[in-house]
Amino acid sequence: MTALKRVFGLTLGAAIAAVAPAQQPNKGGRQPVEPIRLVKPGLYLIAGAGANSEVRVTGEGLIVVDGKLGGETVYDDLMAQVKSVSNLPVKYLIVTHHHADHTGNNDKFRAAGVEIIGHENLKKNLETYRANPVPAPPTVTYAGTSHTVRLGAIEVQVDHFGRAHTSGDSVVYFPDLKVVAVSDVVTTGATGPLADYAGGGSFAEWPRVLDSILKLDFDACIPGNGGVLTKADVQAYKAKIETFLSRAKEAVRNGVPKDQLLSEIKTDDLGWMPRVPVVDPFYAELSQK
Ligand SMILES: [Zn+2]
Q: How far is the CA of 2 from the centre of ligand 1 (A)?
A: 31
CA dihedral 21, 11, 260, 289 (to 10 degrees): 60
CA distances from 187 to 152, 164, 259 (A): 32, 12, 26
In the reported structure, the alpha carbon of residue 254 is separated from the centroid of ligand 1 by a whole-number distance in angstroms of: 32
Centroid of ligand 1 to alpha carbon of 41 (angstroms): 27
Rounded to an integer, what distance in angstroms lies between the CA atom of residue 268 and that of residue 250?
A: 17
Q: Count the helices and strands in the chain (H runs, E runs).
A: 9, 12
Q: Ligand 1 centre and the CA of 4: distance in Å?
A: 30
Residue 132 near residue 56 (C-beta atoms within 8 A):
no
Q: 257 CA distance to ligand 1 centroid (A)?
A: 29
With a CB cutoff of 8 Å and minimum separation 6, the contacts of 70 are 100, 104, 105, 107, 133, 135
The rounded distance, in Å, linking the Cα atoms of 161 and 166 is 11
Burial class of residue 87, CB neighbours in 10 A (0-12, 13-18, 19+)? exposed
DSSP alpha helices (H): ranges in the chain? 2-19, 72-83, 100-103, 106-111, 120-127, 206-215, 231-253, 261-264, 279-288
CATH superfamily of 2-288: Ribonuclease Z/Hydroxyacylglutathione hydrolase-like (3.60.15.10)
CA of 276 to the centre of ligand 1 (A): 13
Q: Any idea where the domains of the chain sit in the sequence?
A: 2-288
| C-alpha span between 111 and 88 (Å, rounded) | 17
Q: What is the pLDDT of residue 288?
A: 84
What pLDDT, on the 0 to 100 scale, is given for residue 289? 54
Between the CA of 225 and the centroid of ligand 1 the distance, in Å, is: 10
Please, where are the H alpha helices in 131-268? 206-215, 231-253, 261-264
- Across the 289 residues of the chain, what is the mean pLDDT of every consecutive 10-residue run? 38 38 44 97 98 98 98 97 98 98 98 98 97 96 97 97 98 98 96 96 98 98 98 98 96 95 93 93 89
Å from CA of 82 to ligand 1 middle: 22
First and final CA of the chain: distance in angstroms? 33
- CA–CA distance, 193 with 275 (Å, rounded to integer): 6
Closest C-alpha among 278, 195, 264, 191 to residue 10: 264
pLDDT score at 170? 98
Q: Could you tell me the distance, in angstroms and rounded to a whole number, from the CA of residue 287 to the centre of ligand 1?
A: 25
Rg (Cα) of the chain, in Å, rounded?
Answer: 19
